[in-house]
């Protein structure tokens, strides 16, 4: 079979090309020794990827297979494979950047948005669950039960961290504070160097979020009208800063999540039990990174899925974050003022050269 035809067939059936499927299988083969399944490893992987990429329930997939497999075997196989992906391969393919990758990321975001030392972006995205009467899974902002995915992604649309610990009724700020990435950032154990000096202030590499996340020196958010620095920063500087952050988020984490749900259709309506929901989402995050690293195509018309937009849930600082909040205000104001001043100088220089 022609390789291009074979790859197209594999992508339609399993969400990735034949070479990437083979490479993933090689990674999983030693791990299959730890589980007991009545299927060969390649069949087990193909079965699981077929369900994840096509969004089919185990019952629906059972009716399509020839020879047929029971829905219970399909569910058992999918749960076993997603458990391996989410636990054994997560640390290999979802991790914070090396110094070299961090430099690449900050350089990309500076070229894109003119914001210095922006390392990655964070977002929260609901993953729809099948019908549930559990009130904790429902939010007034959306008409369906869900769990929350918190994701941090870099300029290559590769996830650096993922957390799926909160039901749909939770807010992104609470979810963040319960995650390991928050503790690591608070303890300066992650994305720390190299710092830059901006407007007389030290700016360490930081991540960018929307208004549903708390303002911290390592997590900068847009200006809110109620924040103290909003009164001391010019409207033009605030507008320039907010636009730059929005541009960075759109180019990284927002597109990464759209690709994630585009490739792995099961995330549009998660038809697994709640006890397997988080591991299924994290397994898809691992598969997404595997595809990105391997250079799988990002055909926007085929692989992007964007949820209906939701208004950010505005967050107030908690007492334990008070000092961090004020430090974040100082850093954000320094960057916003510096960004606007540079834009003004560039505008004046461009006008003078005409």
Domain boundaries, the chain: 3-88, 92-345
Overall pTM > 0.95: no
Per-residue tokens: 173 = 């700020």
Q: What is the Cα–Cα distance from 73 to 84, expressed in whole angstroms?
A: 17
CB burial of residue 190 (10 Å; 0-12, 13-18, 19+): buried
pLDDT at 228: 59
Pick left, alpha or beta for residue 230 (phi over 0 → left; psi -120 to 50 → alpha; otherwise beta).
alpha
How many other CB atoms are there within 10 angstroms of residue 165's CB atom?
15
Q: What is the Cα–Cα distance from 73 to 76, expressed in whole angstroms?
A: 5
Query: Is residue 147 a contact partner of residue 137, using CB atoms and an 8 Å limit?
Result: yes
CA angle 120, 221, 238 (to 5 degrees): 120
Residue range 270-280, pLDDT digits in tens: 999 999 999 99
| pLDDT tens, per residue, the chain with 354 residues | 799 999 999 999 999 999 999 999 999 999 999 899 999 999 999 999 999 999 999 999 999 998 889 999 999 999 999 999 999 999 999 999 999 999 999 999 999 999 999 999 999 999 999 877 787 888 877 778 999 999 999 999 999 999 998 888 889 999 999 999 999 999 877 788 888 999 899 999 999 999 999 999 999 999 986 555 555 678 999 999 999 999 999 999 999 999 999 999 999 999 999 999 999 999 999 999 999 999 999 876 677 888 888 888 788 889 999 999 999 999 999 999 999 999 888 776 665 565
DSSP code for 318: -
Q: Which residue has the tokens 């299927």?
A: 39
DSSP code for 305: -
């Amino acid at each position: 079979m022609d390789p291009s035809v074979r790859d197209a067939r594999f992508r339609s059936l399993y969400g990735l090309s034949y070479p990437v499927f083979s490479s993933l299988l090689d990674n999983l083969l030693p791990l299959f020794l730890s589980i007991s399944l009545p299927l060969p490893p390649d069949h087990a992987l193909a079965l699981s990827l077929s369900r994840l990429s096509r969004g089919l329930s185990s019952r629906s997939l059972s009716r399509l297979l020839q020879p047929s497999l029971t829905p219970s075997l399909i569910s058992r196989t999918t749960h076993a494979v997603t458990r391996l992906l989410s636990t054994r391969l997560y640390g290999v393919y979802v991790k914070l950047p090396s110094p070299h990758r961090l430099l690449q990321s900050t350089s990309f975001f500076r070229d894109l948005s003119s914001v210095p030392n922006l390392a990655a972006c964070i977002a929260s995205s609901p993953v729809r669950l099948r019908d549930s009467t559990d009130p904790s899974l429902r939010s007034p902002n959306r008409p369906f039960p869900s769990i929350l995915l918190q994701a941090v992604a870099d300029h290559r649309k590769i996830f650096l961290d993922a957390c799926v610990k909160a039901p749909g009724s939770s807010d992104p700020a609470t979810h963040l504070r319960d995650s390991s990435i928050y503790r690591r950032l608070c303890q300066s154990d992650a994305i720390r160097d190299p710092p830059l000096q901006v407007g007389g202030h030290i700016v360490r590499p930081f991540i960018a979020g929307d208004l549903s996340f708390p303002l911290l020196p390592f997590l900068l958010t847009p200006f809110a009208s109620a924040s103290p620095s909003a009164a001391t920063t010019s409207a033009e500087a605030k507008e320039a800063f907010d636009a730059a952050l929005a541009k960075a988020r759109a180019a990284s984490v927002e597109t990464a999540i759209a690709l994630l749900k585009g490739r792995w259709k099961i995330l549009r309506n998660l038809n697994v039990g709640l006890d397997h929901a988080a591991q299924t989402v994290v397994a898809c995050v691992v598969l997404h990174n595997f595809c990105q690293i391997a250079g799988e195509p990002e055909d926007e018309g085929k692989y992007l899925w964007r949820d209906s937009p939701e208004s950010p849930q505005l967050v107030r600082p908690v007492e334990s974050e008070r000092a961090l909040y004020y430090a974040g205000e100082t850093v954000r104001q320094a960057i916003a003022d510096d960004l606007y001043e540079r834009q003004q100088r560039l505008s004046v220089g461009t006008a003078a050269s005409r």
